[in-house]
Structures are given as structure tokens and as C-alpha cells.
Chains A and B, each alone.
Chain A
Amino acid sequence: EKDEATKDEL
């Protein structure tokens, strides 16, 4: 299960 990206994005 991949964990979610884009929370480290602006």
C-alpha cells in the first residue's frame, strides 16, 4: 500500500 505524497509540496 503506497503512502500518500504531495503533503511535502507547497
Chain B
Amino acid sequence: MNIFRLAGDMTHLVSVLVLLLKIHTIKSCAGISLKTQELYALVFTTRYLDLFTDYISLYNTVMKLIFLGSSFSIVWYIRRHKIVRRSYDKDQDTFRHYFIVLPCLVLALLIHHKFTFKEVMWTFSLYLEAVAILPQLVLLQRTRNIDNLTGQYVFLLGAYRALYILNWIYRHYTEPHYVHWITWIAGIVQTLLYADFFYYYFQSWKNNVKLQLPA
């Protein structure tokens, strides 16, 4: 464990807890894409298949349970909670799941480390996580209003993967392990997807104006 990875995990943890807390306290999911949340639940499910088979550390297991629990809770709130679901803007959140899931699945079947179920699922989760934010970014473009909790959520989500890239650089130079090129590429693509959001987020923060994404 190095400081970059710990900072990355904590940033990721805060991002999902901020979102869960927002939905739980104000009982609203305005501006949140259910599609992206469902994709994240799928990412964690396919990423953590080894949850009960390979014990790595208490930290690892606890964090996996938190990520699984929080992502499914968020999906449950938006889908089932009698108050929260009313604030879900399903007419705007229309990104088709299969436009993202199918290409990632095909890519994982074509490009992977080993052709085993767990390995292909793990690779699928890497590709899926890289693009799972797209429905949320599309929704933000459409609704154009970004309340600052949603802005913070997306910012923290992007920051966590950027910190992971620093972690992979650190591990590459300091550990006898190697970071596979698939992990590098999926992580870099994911961070680049946030890059334009980061630009507008910093602009609004610097000029102290409300965050507006160009149409």
C-alpha cells in the first residue's frame, strides 16, 4: 500500500459516501444519472468476484463490501425509495446501457490477460469503469445545472483514478510486480474522460462562478 493508492481509495470512498449521504439527507437524486450508478454497481460486482474466494487483507475486504453496499444502495434509493425516485429525471437520463456494456464485454473477450471467467470479468470491469461516467456527463450537459454536491462527486471520482495512475507509476518503479498494460490504458482513458470536466470544474472554482458545462 502506498500513499497514492490510499489517497485514491479514500477519495473514491468519499465520493460514493458523499453521493449516498446527499440522496439520504435531502431525499433527492436530482442531477444524478441512475444509468451511471447501475453501471458502477456492475463494475463492482464483476470486479469483486474474488471477494469470498481470495482473502487479501481486512482493508481490502471491508472496502469491497463498502463499495458494493453503497453502489447498490444508491441504485435502490433511486429506483425504489418512494420520495427519492420522484426526483429522478428519467426523460433526460436516457443513455442506453448496452451501448456501453456490450462493447466492453466484447473488448474483454478479445483483449484480456488470461481467458478465464474471473479474468475476463475483471478485465470487463476495468473497461466498464473507464466509461461508466458517460451517462452522468451526458446528463450534466443536458440539464446544464450542476449542484455542487454532484460536481464534487464527479470531481472526486475522476481524482481517485488519477491518484491510482500515480500509484501504478510508484509501484512500477518500486515493486517487483508489474502493472499490466490493460490496467494502464483503461485507467488513462478513464482519467482523460474526466479531463474536460476537470477543466470546467476548476474554471468555475477559480472564477467562483456556478459550474456550467458548454452544451
**Chain A residues proximal to chain B, CB less than 8 Å:** 2-10
Which residues from chain B contact A9 at a C-beta distance below 8 Å?
Answer: 5, 164, 167
Q: Give Cα A4–Cα B180 distance, bound, in whole angstroms.
A: 7
What residue of chain A has the Cβ atom nearest to residue B66's Cβ? A10
Residues B177 and A2 in contact, CB atoms below 8 Å apart: yes
The answer to whether B64 and A10 have CB atoms under 8 Å apart is yes
Chain A residue with the shortest CB-CB distance to B1 = A8
Assess the B171–A10 pair: CB atoms within 8 A: no
**Are A4 and B177 interface neighbours, CB within 8 A?**
yes
Total contacts A to B, CB within 8 angstroms? Answer: 38
Q: Closest Cβ of chain A: how far from B118's Cβ, in Å?
A: 10
Among A3, A6, A7, the most chain B Cβ lie within 10 Å of the Cβ of: A6
A6: chain B residues within 8 A (beta carbon): 168, 171, 177, 179-180, 183
A-B pairs, 9 with minimum CB distance: A5-B177, A2-B178, A8-B56, A6-B183, A10-B63, A6-B179, A5-B171, A2-B176, A5-B179
Specify the chain A residue showing the minimal Cβ separation from B182. A6
Give the residues in chain B near A8, CB-CB below 8 Å: 56-57, 60
A-B contact list, 20 entries, CB within 8 Å: A2-B177, A2-B178, A3-B178, A4-B177, A4-B180, A5-B177, A5-B179, A6-B177, A6-B180, A6-B183, A7-B50, A7-B54, A7-B56, A9-B5, A9-B164, A9-B167, A10-B9, A10-B47, A10-B60, A10-B63
Chain B min CB distance to A10 (Å): 5
Residues on A with beta carbons closer than 8 Å to the beta carbon of B178 = 2-5
Write out the residue numbers on chain B whose beta carbons fall within 8 Å of the beta carbon of A4.
Answer: 113, 177-178, 180
In the complex, the chain A residue whose C-beta lies closest to that of B119 is A7
Is the C-beta of B91 less than 8 angstroms from some C-beta in chain A? no
CA distance A3 to B28 in the complex (A): 46
* Interface 0/1 of B148-187, CB less than 8 Å to A: 0000000000000000100110010001111110010000
